[in-house]
Amino acid sequence: MNELTFTGTAFSFGDNINTDYLISSRRKRDSINPEELKSYIMEDIRPTFFTELGGEAAIIVAGSNFGCGSAMEVAAQILVVNHIQVVLAKSFARSFFRNCINNGVLPLIADTDGIKEGDALQVALSSREIKLTNVSRRTTQSYPPLGGTVQEILAAGGLVAYMHRSVT
């Protein structure tokens, strides 16, 4: 696998960020098109979030149990359309973890305590390791690589691309 690098500004969230906070079920009534829904990201707990993102690449930094609750996949897609390719959390809910991978978002289980809102972060994936660099604080952490199929799906950019790749 070729090296894959993501960069972005850290936005901090707490524990137990559920998928209803990422995108509310009441919004999904109107559309399931993430482009149309993207401005509602985190609206119930951080109404200014979409404006703060400003269309720039961002990395969400959270505590434990990120993505708990409903398995609805729009919660992962809303990250992609908002240029959030990486979520760092102390732990993830299992269904959300899968949804992230399938949409080309890296859910990295990491020690997020030392990372502050606004830090410039870089995440580099290789076949040997996942390296997390806090550019602002000049620190690095190393994590084990994702395994087999999971890594292939993420490298392809998500499940749809992976399916096309494995067919052709």
Q: Which residues in this chain contact other proteins in the complex, by CB under 8 A?
A: 16, 18, 20-21, 24-26, 28-32, 44-45, 64-65, 68-74, 76, 91-96, 98-99, 102-103, 147-150, 158-160, 163-164
- What is the token pair recorded at 27? 């919004």
When the beta carbons of 14 and 114 are compared against other proteins, the nearer one is 14
Least Cβ distance, residue 18 to other proteins (angstroms):
5
Q: Are 123 and 5 in contact (CB under 8 A)?
A: yes
Q: Report the distance separating Cα 153 and Cα 74, nearest Å.
A: 18
- Torsion sign across C-alpha atoms 143, 7, 158, 127: negative
When the beta carbons of 9 and 65 are compared against other proteins, the nearer one is 65
Least Cβ distance, residue 17 to other proteins (angstroms):
10
When the beta carbons of 94 and 137 are compared against other proteins, the nearer one is 94
Instruction: Name the helix (H) or strand (E) containing 35.
Output: helix 34-37
